[in-house]
Amino acid sequence: MYYSSIYIKVMYLFGFLLLRVFSKGDQNVPYDVHYNIIYGNQHVVSFNQGRELQISMDNSSGSGFGSKMNYGSGYFHMKIKLPNRDSAGVVVAFYLHSNTNLHDEIDFEFLGNREGQPYNLQTNVFANGEGGREQRIHLWFDPTADFHNYKILWNNHQIVFFVDKIPIRIFKNNSNIGVGYPQQPMQLLATIWDGDDWATNGGYTKINWSFAPFKANFKDFKIGGCPIINSNDNHNCNSQDYWWNKRKYWELSFKQRRLYKEYRAKYITYDYCDDIPRYSIPPQECSINMIKKKM
């Protein structure tokens, strides 16, 4: 579809003004300001005048919602309460994804479990269609009992995954030495879907459909991101006019580094960098991290 340069500039300005308004105002805006339902409409229910959204899955369908715009950098977050009771095989995802064949992607994936067993939180990073960078942690709280804040900081220097205020993973931009790094415009999405064949105990623990529908609740629909109107938009999303691109966000703070080391030591259950059977030669970014640990 053809867009005139005037139309693009007007739409960009409109999106930027929306961003400025909602980044300074009430975080708990209605979901439909920034998001649309993308599938499973019959499994989506809104509460509190659209300020809370519930998506669910049964054996007929899952459901999900996605941002109206794509973004080129940002600090994205969502308050999420996960399905309770027996949720083995159920995957709830909150992630960024580019609409391209060789796609970029930044994932939070919550892997359900038998009742009473801990949720696994899996993170992953894709660049130009290449993923395989899974890490998993056990959450140190019951994510089904209340809402918790899950955040992704994405700028041209690093990607940081946060659970509440705690950084649980860092992925640095090492593209200067050939390591893939997400740089394509991406849409922000949240979905619930059937991961029966892999999500719990490698797929050995299956979904118990007698507990369906499985329900996940979301709120806090503000988006802090650099909006991209279309693929030809050359706006600089790495500009330090956006606060998440400023130098202080190129590295973790001292306090954040301490929390990062403390929580990973206690709760990490899988790191692709340590999976020798899978990677006899560690991916290049893993070798870089090992060198830094020894310095």
Residues 48, 53, 56, 61, Cα dihedral to 10°: 120
- Determine the Cα–Cα distance for residues 177 and 241; give it in Å rounded to an integer: 27
Element (H, E) at 293: helix 284-294
SS3 call for 15 = helix
Please, what is the end-to-end C-alpha distance for the chain in angstroms?
52
Q: Which of 229, 187, 237 is nearest to 9 (CA)?
A: 229
- Tell me, rounded to whole angstroms, the distance of Cα 123 from its chain centroid: 8
Radius of gyration of the chain (CA): 19
- Determine the Cα–Cα distance for residues 282 and 179; give it in Å rounded to an integer: 12
- Determine the Cα–Cα distance for residues 122 and 133; give it in Å rounded to an integer: 10
Largest Cα–Cα distance of the chain, in whole Å? 57
- Please list the residues that pair with 90 across neighbouring strands: 194
- Determine the Cα–Cα distance for residues 226 and 244; give it in Å rounded to an integer: 10
Catalytic residues: 105, 109
Across 82-165, the runs of DSSP E, i.e. the strands, are 90-97, 105-111, 120-126, 135-138, 148-154, 158-163
Work out whether the CA dihedral 275, 276, 280, 282 comes out positive or negative: positive
